[in-house]
Chain A
Amino acid sequence: MKSYLRPYVGKLVLIWLVAVLSIAASIVMPLIGKDVVDGPVRSGDSGALLPLGLLALGVGTAEAVLIFLRRWTQVGPVLGLETRIRDDLYAHLQRLPMAFHGEWQSGQLLSRATTDLSTIRRFLGFGMLFLVMNVLQLTTVTVLLLNMYWPLGLLVAASAVPIVLVSMRFEKRYIKISRQVQDEQGDLATLVEESAIGIRTIKAFGRRHHVYDRYDDAALKVYRTSMDKVRLSARFFTFLEVIPNFTLALVLLLGALAVGSGALTLGTLVAFTTMMLQLVWPIASLGYILAMAQESMTSADRVMEVMDTVPAIQGGTAVIENPRGHLRFEGVEFRFPGAEQPVLRDVWLDVRPGETIAIVGATGSGKTTLTAMVPRLVDPTAGRVTIDGHDVRDLTLPALRQVVATAFEEPTLFSMSVRENLTLGRHDATEEELEDAIRTAQAMFVHDLPWGLDTRIGEQGMSLSGGQRQRLALARAVLNRPRILVLDDTLSALDVETEALVEQALRHVLRDATGIVVAHRASTVLLADKVALLSGGTITHVGRHHELLAEVPAYRELLAQDADLDPSEGALR
């Protein structure tokens, strides 16, 4: 927090200075009025009227100017703070690993980046100043009152005791409830997000009402908690208004008695009560401001929760000068947090530079997890992955991820231009390189799009066909000219003819690069020089496709379409 405020120290000092001055001005204004009434008017001295009147005009103008100065100067620091925290939050989120993002719904993250930050901004821009000023005003007036007639002053000061006590109790409960509201709103945002991203599925099943009901439940929850919050603050706010009024009545009673007994003059009592009336509003508004302070505190907590998460995956310092792409898995084990069984255990695999290896395994056997370890989207829980003898954890992340490029099983596209989607990580790609990559992935269809490469593709590429999306993702990986190319079942949505064309082109790319090809089909396996069979969480066999097909029944089971050929099962076999 401090570091965010540092650049604005000068301005902050100015703001506070101006704020205090403007308060002073606002106190002086009524005093001048009093002077006019008590002075010139009573004494009939018309000469003194003009200077006092002009003074009032001057002070009044000064007050307005001071307020303007304060508000205007505030804009920079307050917004600067908010904007910088948001930037940093975003940067931090981009650093946090997949494991974090798998657990956190974007709705929850989003509500931190927007709602929470603006709550903090509002408090800093408005609440904090008022809080301090209110407290200042309260103490000043109380001191004045004590000076005026201490027994009554003491009574007023004593009325602060219940206020403080109740405020403290209120605060505790308010923190809890406002946190609850904020969290529930985050959940609501998550539901909104799911309902928007999953709209196709919802429509396909006609589950509008079902989804609505889920949302409605959550919205009602927010409603109920908010109502609790309203009730709580209503009680507190009311309490804050009642106390000064009761004190006032008491002061009047005791004051009258004091006047009766001659301990106090009538004039002083009048002055006393008038001044006390000035206390009512600051105390009443205290409730609102305290609530605001609480809320912004909760918001800060929520933001810090994310900011304080240390990225579990951080880059090392080494850089490979001329990577050859020798990839080794050495006794790798992977266990998802909280899982009893590891998904992968004792995986040993050696892929020499330029070699391509296919990974074959049943659905859910851990192929994707295995490939994700190379660019360190996840880290093994035991063992290590090395490239050219360097543990991947020793390499800087940009250096590592420059060596490895992955075409994921789900294309993961963005609603940006085709070009931007392709050059995701390589902004310096030339037109020729782009064209090469497009041709390799047989993605020439992009030129037929209405604006060619500049066409914006829908969210997650949804304005493209499934095969088109996959080919874009493939072109993107190829464009990176990686030393190690990982293809995670990337040809599954292509028709046989296109697949053959892509494979042919890929062979060229894979000739120079080390390749890992996750495959469910024999056709894709043939891209590779060797095949590794992943079974029971570890690699049981490595060899050539035909050898394995002949020797390993488990492999035949997985890949051969005609493994248990049953002639009655259709005409196509």
Chain B
Amino acid sequence: MSADATTSTGTADDTAASETTGTTEGTTGTAVADWRGVASEEQDELSEKVSVLLRARSRRLLGDLLSPHRRAIALLTGIIVVSNAAGLAIPYLVKVGIDAGIPPMLKGSGPATLLTVIGVILAAAVTQALTRQAFLQLSGKIGQGILLELRRRVFDHFQRLSLSFHEKYTSGRVISRLTSDIEAIAELLQSGFDSLVTAVLTLFGTAVLLLVLDVHLGLVALLPLPVLLLVTRWFRRQSAIVYRRTRETVALVIVHFVESMTGIRAVQAFRREPRNQEIFTRLNDDYRGANARSMQLVALFTPGIKLIGNLTVGGVLLYGGWLALHGEVTVGVLAAFLLYLRQFYEPMQEISQFYNTLQSAGAALEKLSGVLEEEPSVPEPREPEPLAEPRGEVRFERVRFAYVEEMPILPGLDLTIPAGQSVALVGATGAGKTTLAKLISRFYDPTGGRVLLDGVDLRRLDEATLRSAVVMVTQENFLFSGTVADNIRFGRPEATDRQVREAARAIGAHDFIAALPDGYDTEVGKRGGRMSAGQRQLVAFARAFLADPAVLILDEATSSLDVPSERLVQRALRTILADRTALIIAHRLSTVEIADRVLVMDRGEIVEDGAPDRLIAASGRFAGLHRAWLESLS
């Protein structure tokens, strides 16, 4: 299996990962590389060729994020200039104090000058302190503001993106985008701006000073600048690659980590630990490798800059000394030169540090902007159609649907469910029942044909309208951490406590909830882990009941319940469903009995359709199913 599987697993990250590890892993071999399996589209990690475009994309995002803070940033720049000026003035003032303040004192004409200078020094120190504080707070505020905005945007966008996106992207990547990528940017915002502005200011200030002191020597001192730029360019190119790799490898670590923690029950029960550890160690090692590359780059770059700086100092020393010997510059100028030259190259270190965080943040920004540019495949309509009083008539018109192009699930479906009808949908597993239900809830859009609610194409309804009209209880009942009441209220956030209780009572969940240690205020635990499977199902059911939609879809909503609870639910359904459209998917035909109409589905097609008794009487598929079910009861 290995050879072709590896080649078709063609993501940048996958292939890169197997390339780097392939050599170190002769013994464990290909089996290790292939555990992830093959998927039709490899989604997230983008190839390096498009990186120019990507940079434009992230630049746009950055500009977008910064633009509301434009004034604050201008102000910030002003503050930082003042602060630096005050900071740089102090050593100068000390010199003035000594040169101009002490001689008069020695002459006995009083300390007036000295005191003035000291006063000015104190004033400068206070100015620096105040501006510094203002700067730190303001830049912190801008930085945190940007982070908040970015978090909000990305989160909101993830929530807008369709299910098909999430299926491929996986939660681990979502988490990695919203945690480690955001943190990379946070680091830039926290330490980056400060050091950059200070460094650039010092750099330019000193360059000007050098040229003013002595043009000739100044030019010599600045001679290595082009080399510096070349080295910097090299570093930028290299680090762009390296940091992208860091972000990708860390995402893989996170994905694996999250998945193994989510499925820890199976991991432990099936002794998966050693294998998981093996995989994790490898991913972790890839991440280490990427990090090592980035640290090595810095290890080359920083001393490189230092070397250029020191060589220049040495050169200036020789040349300047020679000039001084020949009286072409004064000794004072040479001394000042040496002092300032150090100041000139010192901030370069800071700049390299900044570059580091910048590149890392840039790579993160690239990933985030990639997500933000992703269009929901189930888009909101531009001009939504209103649906004042949804009646709940559902119609499928020649609906074709496929998850993967090659394998159509629904080849062409025509179906009308009149408003208020309760329809049971039965059929073998994998026939496409859930898929049909998902189309009514518009989790996906059909690849052909259309789905209509009250005669309106679902694609023309906005989210709020559609969701208030159609609610689906999915096969997998997800509970959010919080209390039982919180989870039921998820169906209708504005519901009162009484309504919550009534919903629970209506479906027969009240008794067990009331028996819990804190009743409705019992924490359900992580993913509802403190509830039994059946209890989770009941809570999920109550939640849907509370939502009170015109069209209710129940996908195996009672499969984990014991018979008495199921019967209670059915009894409740009979009243609930009296005046609303319902689609009930169930394998236990006991649930089917409350339906007005039964649809039998096979390989994406409706093969039987009619009232239950009529179908039982006719000797078709459903009659067979029903017989088998009756037998299974005894």
Nearest 9 interchain pairs by C-beta: A206-B467, A467-B429, A417-B37, A60-B310, A230-B140, A363-B534, A456-B37, A570-B593, A425-B270
Given A193-B175, A223-B147, A498 contacting B564 (CB threshold 8 A): no
Give the CA-CA distance A273 to B105 in the complex, in Å.
18
- Asked whether A558 lies within 8 Å of B563 as measured between CB atoms, the reply is yes
- Please indicate the chain A residues that have their CB under 8 angstroms from the CB of B272 in the complex: 424-425
A499 interface residue per 8 A CB criterion? yes
- Cβ of B310 and Cβ of A248 under 8 Å apart? no
Of residues 348 through 406 on chain A, the ones whose CB sits less than 8 Å from some CB of chain B are 361-364, 366-368, 375, 377, 397-398, 401-402, 404-406
Q: Which one, A53, A72, A115, A522, contacts B321 given CB within 8 A?
A: A53
Asked if B619 lies at the interface with its beta carbon under 8 angstroms from chain A, I say no
Decide: A216 near B254, CB < 8 A? Known: A75-B299, A200-B476.
no
Interfacial residues of chain B within 89-109, with CB under 8 A of chain A in the complex: 90-91, 94, 97-98, 101-102, 105-106
Decide if A406 touches B481 in the complex (CB within 8 Å). Answer: no
Selecting from B233-241, B384-392, B583-591, the interface stretch reads B583-591
A-B contact pairs, 8 of them (CB 8 A): A37-B338, A53-B314, A98-B268, A106-B262, A194-B480, A248-B90, A401-B268, A405-B270
Residue A480, interface by CB 8 Å: yes
A206 to B429, CA, bound (A): 27
Q: Is A33 an interface residue (CB 8 A)?
A: yes
A249 lies within 8 A of B122 (CB): yes
A277 proximity list for chain B (CB < 8 A): 91, 94
A37 touches B625 (CB 8 A): no
Interface presence of A333 (CB below 8 A): no
Closest residue of A by beta carbon distance from B588: A521
State whether B478 touches A242 (Cβ < 8 A). no
B261 at the interface (CB under 8 A from A): yes
CA of A420 to CA of B2, assembled, Å: 13
CA distance A253 to B118 in the complex (A): 7
Q: Which of B50-58, B71-79, B363-371, B401-409 is found at the contact surface with chain A?
A: B401-409
In the complex with contacts A401-B268, A424-B272, A497-B592 CB distance below 8 A: no
Size bin of chain B's contact surface: 35 or more
Q: Which residues of A contact B268 (CB under 8 A)?
A: 94, 97-98, 375, 377, 401
Question: When each residue 601-623 of chain B gets 1 if its CB lies under 8 Å from chain A and 0 otherwise, what string results?
Answer: 00000000000110010000000
Residues of B within 8 A of A270 (CB): 98
Q: Which of A111, A206, A489, A562 has the most CB of B within 10 A?
A: A206
Among B147, B407, B588: residue with most chain A CB under 10 A: B588
Asked whether B20 is an interface residue with its Cβ less than 8 Å from the other chain, the reply is no
- A316 lies within 8 A of chain B by Cβ: no
Q: Flag whether A220 is at the interface (Cβ < 8 A).
A: yes
C-alpha spacing A233/B159, complex, angstroms:
35
Q: Does A49 contact B (CB under 8 A)?
A: yes
Given contacts A273-B94, A363-B565, contact A115 B426 (CB under 8 A): no
Whether B284 pairs with A83 at a CB distance below 8 angstroms is yes
Question: A259 at interface (Cβ–Cβ under 8 A)?
Answer: yes
Distance A12 CA – B4 CA, assembled complex (angstroms):
45
Interface string of A525-550 (1 = CB under 8 A from B): 00000000000000000000000000
Is the Cβ of A420 less than 8 Å from the Cβ of B476? no
**Contact partner of B474 among A53, A201, A222, A570, CB < 8 A?**
A201
Residue of A52, A71, A201, A266 near B298 (CB, 8 A) is A71
A314 CB within 8 Å of chain B? no
Contact partners of B90 in chain A: CB under 8 A: 245, 248
Q: Which residues of B contact A417 (CB under 8 A)?
A: 34-38
Chain A 458-513 residues near chain B, CB threshold 8 A? 458-460, 462-463, 465-468, 471, 476, 480, 489, 492-500
Q: Does B133 contact A (CB under 8 A)?
A: yes
| B-chain residues with CB within 8 Å of residue A260 when the two chains form the complex | 102, 105-106, 111
Stretch of B165-173, B217-225, B450-458, B498-506 contacting A (4+ beta carbons < 8 Å): B165-173
Q: Which A-chain residue is minimally distant from B121 (CB atoms)?
A: A249
Which partner residue on chain A sits nearest B555 by CB separation? A466
Is A562 within 8 A of B1, CB to CB? no
Complex partner residue of B98 from A104, A205, A273, A412, CB under 8 angstroms? A273
With a CB–CB cut-off of 8 A, which chain B residues contact A37?
324, 331, 334-335, 338
Cα A110 to Cα B124 in complex, Å, equals 47
A427 within 8 A of B: yes
Q: Is the CB of A496 within 8 A of B629?
A: yes
Q: What separation, in Å, do the CA atoms of A397 and B325 have in the docked complex?
A: 83
Find chain A residues with CB under 8 A from B594 CB. Answer: 570
Instruction: Check if B377 is an interface residue, CB within 8 A of chain A.
Output: no
Query: B468 contacts which chain A residues (CB < 8 A)?
Result: 206
A67-B303, A523-B633 in contact; A368/B269 too (CB < 8 A)?
A: no
- Closest B residue by C-beta to A479: B270
Q: Which residues of B contact A211 (CB under 8 A)?
A: 159
Given A87-B281, A521-B632, 17 further pairs, Cβ under 8 A = A30-B342, A41-B321, A67-B302, A91-B273, A94-B264, A193-B175, A205-B543, A234-B140, A241-B87, A367-B532, A450-B38, A454-B37, A459-B172, A492-B560, A493-B559, A499-B587, A571-B616
Residues of A within 8 A of B480 (CB): 194, 198
Q: How many residue pairs, one in A and one in B, have C-beta atoms under 8 Å apart?
A: 572
**Contact, CB under 8 Å: A454 / B5:** yes
Query: Is B156 part of the binding interface, using a Cβ–Cβ cutoff of 8 Å?
Result: yes
B16 contacts the other chain (Cβ, under 8 Å)?
A: no
Q: With contacts A61-B310, A114-B253, A234-B133 known, is A41 near B302, CB below 8 A?
A: no
In the bound complex, residues from chain A placing their C-beta under 8 Å from that of B265 are 98, 101, 377, 408, 412
Interface status of A208 (Cβ within 8 A of chain B):
yes
Q: Are A340 and B517 in contact (CB under 8 A)?
A: yes
Are A114 and B179 closer than 8 Å at their CB atoms?
Answer: yes
Given contacts A41-B331, A67-B306, contact A102 B529 (CB under 8 A): yes
Q: Are B118 and A495 in contact (CB under 8 A)?
A: no
Are A362 and B478 in contact, with the CB atoms below 8 A? Answer: no
Q: Which residues of B contact A412 (CB under 8 A)?
A: 263, 265-266
Contacts of B338 in A (CB 8 A): 30, 33, 37
Taking CB atoms, residues of chain B closer than 8 Å to A97 are: 268
**Interface status of A137 (Cβ within 8 A of chain B):** no
| A489-B303 in contact (CB<8A) | no
| Residue A64, interface by CB 8 Å | yes
- B628 CB within 8 Å of chain A: yes
Partner of B270, one of A29, A424, A462: A424
Q: Which of B271-298 contact A (CB under 8 A)?
A: 271-273, 275-277, 280-281, 284-285, 287-288, 291-292, 295-296, 298
Mark contacts of A53-91 with chain B using CB atoms, 8 A cut-off: 1 yes-contact digit, 0 otherwise.
Answer: 110110111011101100110111011101100110011
Q: Which of A109, A377, A413, A571 has the most C-beta atoms of chain B within 10 angstroms of its own C-beta?
A: A571
Q: Which residues between 189 and 232 of chain A lie within 8 Å of chain B, taking CB atoms?
A: 189-190, 192-208, 210-212, 215-216, 219-220, 222-223, 226-227, 230-231
Nearest Cβ in chain B — how far from A117, in angstroms?
10
Which residue of B463, B556, B563, B587 contacts A559 across the interface (Cβ within 8 Å)?
B563
Instruction: Tell me the complex Cα distance, A115–B538, Å.
Output: 38
Is A8 located at the chain interface by the 8 A CB criterion? Answer: no
B121 and A497 contact, CB distance less than 8 A: no
Do the beta carbons of A220 and B148 come within 8 Å of each other? yes
- Are the C-beta atoms of A90 and B407 separated by less than 8 Å? no
Interface residues of A in 143-201 (CB under 8 A from B): 185, 188-190, 192-201
A455 in contact (CB, < 8 A): yes
CB of A110 within 8 A of CB of B140, answer no
Measured between C-beta atoms, what is the minimum distance from A254 to chain B in Å? 10
For B124, list chain A residues within 8 Å (CB): 245
Residues of A within 8 A of B253 (CB): 86, 113-114
Q: CA of A269 to CA of B556 in the docked complex: distance in angstroms?
A: 88
A498→B141 CA distance, assembly (Å): 61
Which residue of B160, B258, B313, B491 contacts A110 across the interface (Cβ within 8 Å)?
B258
A466 touches B463 (CB 8 A): no
The residue that B114 contacts in the complex, of A104, A256, A362, A467, with Cβ under 8 A, is A256
- In the assembled complex, B579 has its CB within 8 A of some CB on chain A: no
Q: Do B147 and A456 touch (CB < 8 A)?
A: no
**Whose C-beta in chain A lies nearest to the C-beta of B261?**
A106
Q: Which of A410-441 contact B (CB under 8 A)?
A: 410, 412-420, 424-427
